[in-house]
Structure 1
Amino acid sequence: MSRIPVSLIGARGHVGAELMRLIVDHPCFDLVHAASRERAGQPVAEQVAGASPGLRYSAPLPDELPVLTDGAYVLALPNGMAGPYVEAIQRIAPTAVIIDLSADYRFDPAWHYGLPELADSAPRRLISNPGCYATAMQLAIAPMGNMLDGPVQCFGVSGYSGAGTTPSPRNDPDALRDNLMPYTLTGHVHEREVSRHLGHPVEFMPHVAPHFRGLTVTCNLHLAAPATLDDVRSRYRAFYADAPLVDVIDEPPHVRDIAGCAGATVGGFALSDDGRRLVVVAILDNLLKGAATQAVQNLNLAFGLDGLAGLDACKEISA
């Protein structure tokens, strides 16, 4: 089959770099366009090994995007910036696939919410990629959905790559040294996202730590009826039996073990003496399963490919 052309809009950031690497190495996709105002004119191959030698970053206005009628556009822009590009793509390439990594369409019923392990795999054209924390929380909570009683509390800690590349205290290694920085402790967009898509209230408390990549969420679930650890473990293993990018382990997972890995790990199951309070830990690489590899999963499914095409379980990283 001919390779499928892909345009990446928002190629400068950490996630953009991961996406370009994954698309360039993919057996079925062809990175034909990469948009970045800051790098306009520079060769993409200087940053991404294997990229076409002639491919250079550009800075097009929405109506200046390439027309990829049978291809895909991946938007890796900050929240609030996707709209003009989506509108333009709908005009110039109405049959193209659009995957948006921002929060702009996660609450829009016209868009498919693409968490592959919890959604059907039917091809879609408009796909909203879930947030990184939101992915981890949903993977930790979903298997117990019909047993929950009351809000789930989630304590999250992420590496500072999750704060993006625009300078702020939350991605400043000096400000984070020997520190743990809480932020947006109520009403975080991922709190609202998970509550909506699980159909159950979640209370989320995020923090930033000094490490670069990877996140962990510790979720406190109140249960409507007593459970046993054996039942809980069996329930999670059965739920994710056909989800090769989700590992279920008994012991608490460590975030350093997930850096550079395409999937997520759920484990650390602990029950109160009365069996009515369950604690579950989930970890993932916020740049990969929290963003880039999940986008590639969604691209694969949109074009009827194997959902794991082009995704290695783990890779060697230098960051």
Structure 2
Amino acid sequence: MSKIKYNIALLGGRGFVGQEIIKIIDKHNFFDLSSIYSSSKAGEKINSYHKNPELKYSDLNKNLQLDGVDIVICALPNGESSKFVDKIEKIDNSIVIIDIGSDYRFDKNWFYSIPEINNISSGIKRISNPGCYATASQLSIAPIKDIINLKVSCVGISGYSGAGATPNDKNNPKIINESIFPYSLSNHTHEKEIKKHCYSKVSFSPHVADFFRGILVTSHFSLSEKLNVEEIIKIYDDFYTNNKLVKIQKDPPLIKDVINTNYAIIGGYSISDDGHDLVTCCVIDNLLKGAASQCIQNLNVTFGFEESLSLEDTFN
């Protein structure tokens, strides 16, 4: 792909993830936003996009205008993207579409991609961006997948931004104030996602806590080989040696260390006395590596750029 600039239409610019995408593309050398659609902010200026200070939200409820558009990012609530994909394909089937929601994560015609794991290549036209919990869990599982014995147990704690901007129990201050709220403790959609794309014998239990952003996933493994902490760390180091956005450390990582960054940190490695039971911790910013920046990371690779292009900065 030889173009120097690629034009993007963003569907769903009002939400938390949409706002992060706008900030990232504002700093990207090769991606520009030509239009941003919202069902509630049509006509309003987009103050966070400095490349084009006159750009205003377009009405998502009206016909999409995609002339000259190379990429469509769907940053819509789960179940909404599929309503627009057929329309986009009828306008121009050559447009690259990436969906941040869950609509296509189990569709064989869409490429599901955590770039560090799934080896996305240039030229892919339909990309399904992974879920936030599923990202942190799979980053923890993938390096040792071949030496796991039996079931993996993952416990996730997320800030309430993961519940979206629309009021619900998982972002209700009366419920989560100074507390942790467990929900969907079995058969969560991200558990199904992990089983489909990484490791089939896994249980996942999510919780939402009284902070805005960030995720911690603690994973428990039974190993088929006896290993010590140093050997485990080397396995993770070797697996992610060429990936700039995954950091490996011995100490337990803290959510505050990844807030407003595009990095995942995996650490806290603890081994049982017999060398067969392992615990790891992974932290990411759910709005960035768990959504917006992983989207741009996937697009970077798809269009032949370095995967971490414009993603190694901290966003405030």
Q: What are structure 2's unaligned runs of at least 5 residues?
A: none
* TM superposition outliers: structure 1 runs of 4+ over 3 Å: none
What is the CA distance between 1:68 and its match in structure 2? Answer: 4.5
Instruction: Give the direction of change, closer, same or farther, for the CA distance of 1:302–1:66 in structure 2 (3 Å limit).
Output: farther
Contact 1:101 1:295 in 2 (8 A): yes
RMSD: 1.3
Measured in 1, the distance between the counterparts of 2:189 and 2:254 equals 25
Amino acid at match of 1:57: Y
SS at match of 1:58: strand
Counterpart residue number, 2:56:
56
Counterpart residue number, 2:19:
17
Counterpart residue number, 1:6:
8
Measured in 2, the distance between the counterparts of 1:161 and 1:218 equals 19
Counterpart residue number, 2:219:
219
- Equivalent pairs: percent with the same residue? 39
Counterpart residue number, 1:289:
289
Q: CA deviation digits over 1:180-211, x for unaligned, max 9?
A: 10000000000000011113321001001111
The TM-score normalised by the length of structure 2 is: 0.96
**Higher deviation after alignment, 80-89 or 129-138:** 80-89
Contact 1:25 1:310 in 2 (8 A): yes
Counterpart residue number, 2:159:
159
Trace 1:35-74 onto structure 2 (pairs within 5 A).
Answer: 35-45=37-47, 48-61=48-61, 64-68=63-67, 71-74=70-73
Trace 1:1-319 onto structure 2 (pairs within 5 A).
Answer: 1-45=3-47, 48-61=48-61, 64-68=63-67, 71-123=70-122, 124-315=124-315, 317=316
Q: CA deviation digits over 1:200-249, x for unaligned, max 9?
A: 32100100111101000000011122222121111010001001100000
Contact 1:97 1:302 in 2 (8 A): no
**Higher deviation after alignment, 11-20 or 219-228:** 219-228
SS at match of 2:218: strand
Contact 2:39 2:61 in 1 (8 A): no
User: When the two structures are aligned, how many residues end up with a matched partner?
Assistant: 313
Amino acid at match of 1:43: K
Contact 1:245 1:313 in 2 (8 A): no
Contact 1:252 1:268 in 2 (8 A): yes
Contact 1:69 1:93 in 2 (8 A): no
Measured in 2, the distance between the counterparts of 1:67 and 1:162 equals 30
Q: CA deviation digits over 1:236-295, x for unaligned, max 9?
A: 100010011000000100111110111100010001111111001000000000000000
Measured in 2, the distance between the counterparts of 1:51 and 1:287 equals 22
Contact 1:41 1:57 in 2 (8 A): yes
The TM-score normalised by the length of structure 1 is: 0.95
Amino acid at match of 1:29: F
